């Protein structure tokens, strides 16, 4: 475990030398600030001029903020893994005690702990909906696991960092699941149930329903297991 933490620290130092990854680290806070300052002002203007309010969609904005926080931070981990693969250092780690799952814990597991904490900070600072603490925790856990699943998807499908940039665009499909929970009528919205983002939308819209939470949790685990196995077969 000590070596795993050491590798995690090495990864943090590598990030400081990469401008794109630094931007991804800051992006959740910038998006949160935009939501906090922009939507309430937009709501006031719309209500004054058109007698229309967007407050019913504040929960969707908070759900989007949580989803994007985990997605963006997971891409930092994914691109770091792909960079190490391009440079050959990833192969080097496979002949050390940090091979396999230990390597993934350092590059995906521990960063996702930071992602969860970051998501909590962003939501508490910039959230505009009256989500309960339980909603934030439940949606945040699924969002964090979703981030891990998306990171594993990118590194298992991409052969290098350039391919990773292209494949990372597929991660935005997860946002489609979140939107389906809000705008697609029953029962058709269940077509998005295979996307973890759908269950985040359920929680922020309807509250914490434990069956929805468990469904989202198991969907994330299924994604993580499938893509982790594919990744480990490649290295």
Q: Which domain holds residue 193?
A: 1-234
CA distance 88 to 84: 6
Q: Other CB atoms closer than 10 Å to residue 56's CB: what's the count? A: 10
The domain tally of the chain equals 1
Q: 178 to each of 17, 20, 78, how far by Cα in Å?
A: 34, 26, 22
* pLDDT range class, residue 34, cuts 50, 70, 90: very high
pLDDT exceeds cutoff 70 at 105: yes
Backbone angles phi, psi at 83, to 5 degrees: -65, -40
CA angle 26, 70, 83 (to 5 degrees): 70
Beta strands in the chain (DSSP E): none
Say if CB 183 and CB 198 are below 8 A apart: no
CA pair distance 148, 69, nearest whole angstrom = 12
Q: Which residues contact 155 (CB under 8 A, 6 or more apart)?
A: 78, 81, 82, 85, 164, 227, 231
Question: Residues 106, 4: contact at Cβ < 8 Å?
Answer: yes
Residue (of 73, 201, 230, 217) closest to 129 by Cα position: 201
Say what the pLDDT of residue 92 is. Answer: 47
**DSSP output for 71-109:** HHHHHHHHHHHHHHHHHTHHHHHTTSTT-THHHHIIIII
Largest CA distance in the chain: 66
pTM, two decimals, is 0.86
Predicted pLDDT at 91: 52
Mean pLDDT along residues 137-166? 88
Name the percent of the chain lying above pLDDT 70: 87
Q: pLDDT tens for residues 176-221?
A: 888 988 888 888 888 888 888 899 999 998 888 888 899 999 999 9
- How high does pLDDT run on average in the chain? 84
């Amino acid at each position: 475990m000590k070596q795993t933490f050491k590798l995690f620290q090495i990864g943090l130092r590598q990030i400081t030398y990469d401008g794109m990854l630094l931007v991804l680290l800051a992006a959740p806070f910038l998006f949160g600030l935009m939501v906090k300052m922009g939507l309430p002002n937009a709501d006031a203007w719309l209500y004054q001029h058109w007698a229309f309010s967007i407050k019913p969609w504040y929960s969707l904005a908070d759900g989007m903020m949580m989803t994007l926080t985990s997605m963006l931070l997971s891409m930092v981990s994914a691109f770091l893994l792909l960079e190490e693969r391009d440079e050959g250092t990833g192969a080097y780690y496979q002949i050390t005690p940090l091979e396999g799952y230990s390597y993934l814990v350092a590059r995906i597991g521990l960063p996702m702990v930071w992602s969860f904490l970051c998501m909590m900070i962003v939501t508490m600072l910039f959230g505009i909906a009256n989500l309960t603490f339980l909603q934030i925790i439940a949606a945040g856990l699924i969002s964090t696991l979703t981030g891990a699943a998306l990171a594993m998807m990118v590194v298992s499908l991409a052969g290098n960092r350039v391919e990773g940039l292209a494949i990372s665009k597929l991660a935005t499909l997860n946002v489609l699941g979140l939107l389906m929970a809000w705008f697609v009528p029953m029962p058709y919205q269940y077509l998005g149930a295979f996307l973890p983002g759908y269950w985040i939308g359920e929680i922020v819209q309807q509250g914490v329903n434990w069956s929805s939470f468990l469904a989202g949790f198991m969907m994330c685990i299924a994604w993580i297991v499938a893509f982790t196995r594919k990744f480990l077969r490649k290295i």
